[in-house]
Amino acid sequence: MKIVPVLLSGGSGTRLWPLSRAVLPKQLLPLVTDRTMLQETLLRVSKWAEVANPVIVCGNDHRFLVAEQLREVGITPNSIVLEPVARNTAPAIAAAALQLQGQDVYMLVLPADHVINDVESFEQAIHIALTAAADDKLVTFGIKPSKPETGYGYIKLGNENSAGSYQVDRFVEKPDLATATEYVASGEFFWNSGMFLFKPESFLKQLDLHAPDIAAAVNKAVSSSYKDLDFVRLDEAPFAESPSLSIDYAVMEKTDHAVVVPADIGWSDVGSWTSLQEVQECDAEGNVARGDVYLKNVQNSLVRSEGRFVAAIGVKDLIVVETSDAVLVASKDAAQDVKEVVEYLKQNERSEHKIHPRAYRPWGWYESIDMGDRHQVKRIMVKPGEKLSLQMHHHRAEHWVVVSGSAMITVDGNTKLYSENQSTYIPIGSTHRLENPGKLPLHLIEVQSGSYLGEDDIVRYEDTYGRS
């Protein structure tokens, strides 16, 4: 039987703001290496002989980014399942299980944003888990704790099985520090990793038994799902009716089929800036620096620049993260409180928690570099062979200047090829389209002017990517 990796890619990673945001969360970012967390998770398991093409479960807003990131590393998915609304892990896993039902496979459920440094030990743990899963058990992986940790749930080991797995005695919520210290000292408690292995049918049977309302709603959503390009769209109405529960609450804490495999695999869920620092190489002073950074007399700090030059002098135990529209400076002791900044931004109806200045699209990206009352200047990159929708704006005119590459521009039915340093003007109300016919990325500058410059002032007449 093959193992199908099922990657859950629906999280938002608010504790890693300002890098991780709603439209570009941490699993789609290159946080530890030059590859994204999603790509690293896939590549970690894709080389094993028994592993088949993966299933990815993600939100609609991330679908093109997920597809592009798979293409970049040469991985063809079994399917990319789109959640119409966020409903936690139990419904997401159920949707994937229904996709795989009857295929004689095991599901290896993995969050898309974890780090595992000891891949060999991880593979050994999976082979232990397969023995239990073959007997219709639902296997989770308990991480050997390296220290008392209040940010993780715990699993207490029960009786040992003959194959090196254990019955689950109980799941425990995130403890206080004193309780976590007792857990670690006992040797009986392991961190709850959120990773699982089981047959699709085994999981669905337990879901029917312990969370029938979730099972019924997701069954309806999958039964009336449909293909959209390379994606599987679940029916929104029944999926939205599903209770929003984790797999632990919905099934694992209730079933007598839960089994845990202890694993010492160099694992981290990278749930905060301090945990990100811990999984990267430090300098002699305990610092992790990335980007255009200068450090002098700095100790035990993470300093990261995404563009501008950042200098830190005479400080210690700090988190400093620079992006083009926000800067975070925090004590390492307060790293978990970053989520409160995100709440502040939401409550004050600001955009810095949701979007990046650079917005990714299936054809490339654009980035706002200047904005006033009646103007906006953008940088635009169009990938080779891609094109924007045929569209019109009611409230703005646009000037396009080609910086590099070739641009095929259509305005009111007239098409012309433009090259470096050439430009064109698109009046308000004109139907227009931009495409890149070349083999190199197209870069251009767009100057907008008008009474309203919002991204919702787009009327699409034709779109390669099926956007309305």
For 182, other C-beta atoms within 10 Å of its C-beta total: 12
CA dihedral angle for residue 244, residue 248, residue 249, residue 253, rounded to 10 degrees: 160
Lowest mean pLDDT among 8-22, 110-124, 126-140, 273-287: 8-22
pLDDT tens profile 262-301? 999 999 999 899 999 999 999 999 999 999 999 999 999 9
- pLDDT over 90 (residue 199): yes
Question: In terms of residue numbers, what domain contains 298?
Answer: 284-346
∠ CA 118-123-203 to the nearest 5 degrees? 125
- Average the pLDDT over 411-416 and give the result: 96
Q: What does the alpha-carbon distance between residue 259 and residue 295 come to, in Å, rounded to a whole number?
A: 48
Whether pLDDT at 344 is above 70: yes
Q: Per the domain annotation, does 468 fall within a domain? A: no
Amino acid at 41: T
| pLDDT on residue 89 | 96
Domain contains 119: yes
Q: Could you tell me if 244 and 183 lie in one domain?
A: yes
From CA 424, how far away is CA 398, in angstroms rounded?
8
384 and 337 share one domain: no
3-state secondary structure of 65: helix
- The DSSP element (H or E) to which 186 belongs, if any, is helix 177-186
Question: Is the model's pLDDT at 329 over the cut of 80?
Answer: yes
Q: Is the pLDDT of residue 14 over 90?
A: no
CA distance 195 to 109: 6
Is residue 454 domain-resident? yes
Q: Are residues 340 and 408 in the same domain?
A: no
Output DSSP code: residue 265. Answer: S
pLDDT, average across residues 95-107: 95
Would 66 be classed as within a structural domain? yes
CATH classification at residue 388: 2.60.120.10
Beta carbons within 10 angstroms of residue 332's beta carbon: 16
Residue 396: per-residue pLDDT:
96
Picking from 256, 255, 247, 223, the residue whose alpha carbon sits closest to that of residue 237 is 223
Quick one: what percent of the chain has pLDDT higher than 70?
100
Q: What's the number of domains the chain is made of?
A: 3
Distance CA 368, CA 181 (A): 48
Give 137's contacts (C-beta < 8 A, 6+ positions apart).
165, 198, 202, 257, 258, 259
Give yes or no: residues 335 and 378 share one domain: no
CA distance 82 to 63: 7
Q: Say whether both 109 and 143 belong to one domain.
A: yes
Q: Residue 112: phi, psi to the nearest 5? A: -80, 0
Residues 291 and 164 in one domain: no
Q: What are phi and psi of 90, to 5 degrees?
A: -60, -50
Question: Where does a domain end: 309, 326, 346?
Answer: 346
Domain end position, chosen among 315, 346, 377: 346
pLDDT for 118 equals 94
Strands 423-426 and 396-404: antiparallel
What is the tens place of the pLDDT at every residue in 393-407? 999 999 999 999 999
Of the pLDDT bands very low, low, confident and very high (cuts 50, 70, 90), residue 125 is very high
Q: Which helix (H) or strand (E) holds 155?
A: strand 154-160
Helix (H) / strand (E) element for 179: namely: helix 177-186
DSSP, residue by residue, 85-100 = S---HHHHHHHHHHHH
Q: Cα–Cα distance between 220 and 50 in angstroms, integer?
A: 31
Sign of the torsion formed by the C-alpha atoms of 104, 108, 112 and 118? negative
- Average per-residue pLDDT in the chain? 94
Separation between Cα atoms, residue 114 and residue 117, nearest integer Å: 10
Q: Are residues 184 and 243 in the same domain?
A: yes
Provide the pLDDT confidence category of residue 112 given band limits of 50, 70 and 90. very high
Question: Could you tell me if residue 32 is inside a domain?
Answer: yes
Q: Which of 238, 268, 298 is the last residue of a domain?
A: 268
CATH of the domain at 121: 3.90.550.10
The string of pLDDT tens digits covering residues 32-50 is 999 999 999 999 998 887 8
467 lies in some domain: no
Residue 163, pLDDT above cutoff 80: no
User: Does residue 434 form part of some domain?
Assistant: yes
Q: Same structural domain for residues 247 and 334?
A: no
Same domain for 211 and 315, yes or no, is no
- Based on the domain organization, do 154 and 210 belong to the same domain? yes
CA distance 167 to 187: 15
Cα–Cα–Cα angle for 233, 235, 238, rounded to 5 degrees: 150
Is residue 152 domain-shared with residue 64, that is, in the same domain?
A: yes
Residue 276 lies in a domain: no
The mean pLDDT value for 181-187 works out to 91
pLDDT score at 468: 65
pLDDT of 467 strictly over 80: no
Is there a single domain that holds both residue 8 and residue 59? yes
The pLDDT, as a whole number, for residue 161 is: 86
pTM over 0.95: no
